Structure 1
Amino acid sequence: MATLQNFIDGDFVDASGTGALDVVDPRTEQVVATSPISDASDVDRAMAAAAAAFPGWKAATPSARQKALLALADAIEGASDRLVEAQVRNTGQVASFVATEEVAVGADQMRFFAGAARDPRGLTSGEFAEGLTSQVRREPIGVVAQVTPWNYPLMMALWKIGPALAAGNTIVLKPSDTTPESTLVLAELTRGILPDGVFNVVLGDASTGTLLTEHPVPGLVAITGSVRAGRAVATSGAAGLKRVHLELGGKAPVVVFPDVDIEASAQAICEAGFFNAGQDCTAATRVIVHRSIHDEFVDALVKAAESTVTGPNDEAFYGPLNNARHFAAVTKAVEGLPEHATIRTGGFRVGDTGFYFAPTIIADVKQDDDIVQNETFGPVLTVQAFDTDDEALELANGVRYALASSVWTENHRVAQRFARDLDFGCVWINTHIPLVAEMPHGGFKESGYGKDLSAYSIDDYTRIKHVMSAH
């Protein structure tokens, strides 16, 4: 069983903190590693390393940063087996899924950030007052603190470090306490590619995360996590007037019109809802279907759900929920349904060992039900009926989250209206869940603010300076 270490200033080092955490494989419920709870001295050490490395990394030319990120992308691809093994041990995800959807896609995303490093955006210099020339400089912020979640440990780390490094920042990152190992493999891959101190990893629990966000050194704190965690980061960052980048929860609506192919659409929506065991803030969770096809569509969803495999076997579409506490929360949410709601399929544990939860379809829910309003973060879809376009929009927008959504129709007019009026950071039409490096990812309302992916994410990791010179 491994005893994990922090990665600071280019080396793996023991933490000073005396606390420790067990890292559990959710497939077997067995402890596979021990991870330290880093204390204030560990965070100070990492911040000092990042601060010392910042002047050199800031001064590096865009082409030099691009070269480093391209080399890191190659290293990620070359270490695919190691990354997959480390991550699956902590997440229980299907290994082929991690290889294709996180390692391969993550390397591609890193190559995008490498290219974007050489294309900074800003206003052209010019004369806007007589006798004076103005220019706008886009500069790195400095040291940034980053906190990543357990649902996609490697990919979320790459989404965070890619734009931050491309912009010229240095980093102190804390991975989730339940899934630290793939991030440590990533840290090892940076050796010889990034200068020492540019990328640092400290391990720990929520208390360690608070030490990061409250530390005086970082100029920005970025987190992907729950609304509760986002509020805590925003509150602690406010004391130092830090910039905060929040990518939080979701409760994505899927609005289905009667002109769709019912069976094909139901299958695609189930895949988007059960992807990664539903542990995805963009997952399809609330199916809002026209009343004229409601019953037939529910039947199609049930059929698709019952053909979806989970459990400890090679044919599984998704693996277990990440940890015992989360498994208990998903179970409680489903078992606590009001009397009017109907579990059409699923709603139970699969097997006796591991945190596996069956694909679940729940019909007859109402808009104010907890299962509709609050993020379940599991393989659970609810179904509601609508009669008019206005009613569909009211149901879709009537939650506190605003990250992702989709509309399913062959009617161009309807699709365009819903693309405009769905109050979410992403609207998919006749699909749900694909992401590309070139397009921004982020939401509104309690789903947070700030963008991952795309050139917009690099903007978030920069500051703007106006320079004016007299002729």
Structure 2
Amino acid sequence: MSTVDFSSFTNIINGESRNSAETARGIDPFDGKSLWDVPLASKSDMQDAVTAANKALETWSETTIDYRRRLIAQYKDIFFSHLQDFKTLLYKEAGKTSAMADSELTDTISMFDHHLSLNLPTEVLNLEDRVTTSSYVPVGVVVAICPWNFPIVLAMGKVLTGLLTGCTVIVKPSPFTPYSALKLAEIAQGIFPRGVLQALSGDNLLGPSLVAHPDVHKISFTGSTATGKKIMAVAAETVKRVTLEMGGNDATIVLPDVDIAKVAPQVTIAALFHSGQVCLAIKRVYIHQDIYDDFIAAMIETMKILSIGEKDSLLGPIQNKLQFDHIQDLLADSRQQGHSVIGTRHSFDDRGGYFIGPHIVSEPQHDSRIVTEEQFGPIIATLKWSTEDEVVRYANDTKTGLGASVWSSDESRAERIGKRLEAGNIFINSGHRLTAKALFSGHKESGLGGEWGSTGLLEYCNVRVSHVFKTT
């Protein structure tokens, strides 16, 4: 496919474009208007894709990792040649500002570079009676179920891992953001053999059907905890391998020795980055009582200068109406409960779309919805603490454990507190700043398994141990 039309979208099945009798349309979060038609995969489309993936697996799984790495390098080149096209898609379907789209595309290139540096380990043991060789072989057909908040980089984190390990991959994007994933598969068709990388757009019935399919061998999912639990239950019927990256309710702890003028803006931006639509965004801020008022004042000043929906903004619209309504409901609940809700003056009457300005909810009860639920929007819950044991207990009092952060001028104390927090990703004196070079995983109900890093590849593999006995 030498010519790529970024205004026409099809499913990609066995190396070919395929339309469907049923279609849907995404919504532009900036103005609420409909986008392009996108096909909804039928049951026969899904079956054809699974059949093609298993057929391709027979030969693809036998290729060398060096060969697969060379093709991934070609894939990176063609992706890079279409960066502007993908940036436009991120703006249209995901509600990204220019700055946020550039950030995601930069992270995607880094994801390519990281995977191009990886290899699969082999362990050889020379024992008294035998030689054992432990190697990692592809798990099989992988279905990558992807979210709407970062539809390119999070999809590619799954795709590249699957391809590099010798798996075949079917991408199932969120119904809210189907366009970029279909194009990611389309531009790959001139590089990889038929059936190695496919993409199916569908409604809420497609994902469960893929999870239940007996000829799918692994599900890699990023999304809500509720959906992840359903995937885990259905996958158990066929003992599918699963990697689940689910919800978070990340706490940050601010110690009294911080430089307020420096730290308060960083905490605020880390909470509001991409309008808070980040699984690792700061959602609960625990500020020591001695500096609480001054710290809140500095956060409010930072919020006042943040632009929304402009080219270089960190804040854009909420991606979809369902999430927009959820955030509005949380704000209404906080006001009804008598919480102090502090918002900056932003008027969106003439904008259309799903815009919500940033808000701080000051000193809500610890069992209130704004504290216990993941808001996934531009709302920051702020609470006081007095003792270290108290704040650690508050931070850990959640069913999730994706990320947390600690801020202090005393780095050793911050690290000590960080080791007490029940989360998979601990940031000291920083908000969420992930790297593809480190494993990304969650504790408790935030996930199962992990992705990226040097060991994320192993989640897409089975282990094969060969025992060769000595004859002399």
TM over 0.5: yes
Q: How does 1:161-310 map to 2 (within 5 A)?
A: 161-310=159-308
Q: Is the 8 A contact 1:57 1:170 kept in 2?
A: yes
Matches of 2:73 and 2:47, distance apart in 1: 30
Q: Is the 8 A contact 1:7 1:13 kept in 2?
A: yes
Match in the other structure for 2:3 = none
CA displacement, residues 159-202 of structure 1 (integer Å, 9 cap, x when unaligned): 11111111110011100111111112211221222222110000
1:349 CA drift (Å) = 7.1
Q: How does 1:25-104 map to 2 (within 5 A)?
A: 25-99=28-102, 101-104=103-106
Q: Is the 8 A contact 2:40 2:201 kept in 1?
A: yes
Q: Is the 8 A contact 1:69 1:111 kept in 2?
A: no
SS in 2 for 1:428: strand
Matches of 2:190 and 2:411, distance apart in 1: 52
The amino acid of 2:126's aligned partner reads: G
Q: After alignment, is 415-424 or 244-253 more displaced?
A: 415-424
Matches of 2:225 and 2:305, distance apart in 1: 33
Q: Is the 8 A contact 2:38 2:179 kept in 1?
A: no
Match in the other structure for 2:468 = 469
- TM-score, normalised via structure 2 length: 0.95
1:467 CA drift (Å) = 1.2
Matches of 1:278 and 1:150, distance apart in 2: 13
Matches of 2:396 and 2:428, distance apart in 1: 16
**Structure 1 gap ranges (5+):** none
Identity of aligned residues (%): 27
Matches of 2:366 and 2:306, distance apart in 1: 27
1:397 CA drift (Å) = 0.7
Matches of 1:109 and 1:62, distance apart in 2: 17
Question: 1:142 aligned to 2:144?
Answer: no
Match in the other structure for 1:393 = 392
Q: Is the 8 A contact 1:143 1:169 kept in 2?
A: yes
The amino acid of 1:291's aligned partner reads: Q
1:158 CA drift (Å) = 0.7
Q: After alignment, is 187-196 or 57-66 more displaced?
A: 187-196
Q: Is the 8 A contact 2:141 2:167 kept in 1?
A: yes
Question: 1:329 aligned to 2:329?
Answer: no
The amino acid of 2:420's aligned partner reads: D
Q: Is the 8 A contact 2:9 2:183 kept in 1?
A: no
SS in 2 for 1:300: helix
The amino acid of 1:377's aligned partner reads: F
Count of aligned residue pairs for this structure pair = 463
- TM-score, normalised via structure 1 length: 0.95
1:346 CA drift (Å) = 4.4
CA displacement, residues 200-254 of structure 1 (integer Å, 9 cap, x when unaligned): 0000122001111011111111110001110111111111111111000111111
Q: Is the 8 A contact 1:349 1:357 kept in 2?
A: no
Matches of 2:345 and 2:300, distance apart in 1: 12
1:315 CA drift (Å) = 4.6
Match in the other structure for 2:116 = 114
Matches of 1:317 and 1:157, distance apart in 2: 22
CA displacement, residues 256-309 of structure 1 (integer Å, 9 cap, x when unaligned): 001111122111111111111111000011100110001111111111112111
SS in 1 for 2:423: coil
Aligned match for 2:314, one of 314, 317, 328: 317
Q: After alignment, is 322-331 or 335-344 more displaced?
A: 335-344
Match in the other structure for 1:123 = 123
Q: Is the 8 A contact 1:53 1:195 kept in 2?
A: yes
CA displacement, residues 385-430 of structure 1 (integer Å, 9 cap, x when unaligned): 1001111101111111100110000213311212211110010000
Matches of 2:109 and 2:398, distance apart in 1: 34
**Structure 2 gap ranges (5+):** 1-5
Matches of 2:109 and 2:76, distance apart in 1: 5
Q: Is the 8 A contact 1:220 1:243 kept in 2?
A: yes
Q: Is the 8 A contact 1:23 1:33 kept in 2?
A: yes
Matches of 1:452 and 1:135, distance apart in 2: 25
Q: Is the 8 A contact 2:171 2:181 kept in 1?
A: no
When the two chains are superposed, the root-mean-square deviation of aligned CA atoms in Å is: 1.6
The amino acid of 2:313's aligned partner reads: A
Matches of 2:255 and 2:354, distance apart in 1: 35
Q: After alignment, is 337-346 or 258-267 more displaced?
A: 337-346
Question: 1:360 aligned to 2:359?
Answer: yes
Matches of 1:416 and 1:391, distance apart in 2: 17
Question: 1:342 aligned to 2:344?
Answer: no
Q: After alignment, is 379-388 or 189-198 more displaced?
A: 189-198
Q: Is the 8 A contact 1:347 1:357 kept in 2?
A: no
1:2 CA drift (Å) = 5.4
Q: Is the 8 A contact 2:247 2:279 kept in 1?
A: yes
Q: Is the 8 A contact 1:210 1:233 kept in 2?
A: yes
SS in 1 for 2:405: strand
1:347 CA drift (Å) = 9.5
Q: Is the 8 A contact 2:212 2:235 kept in 1?
A: yes
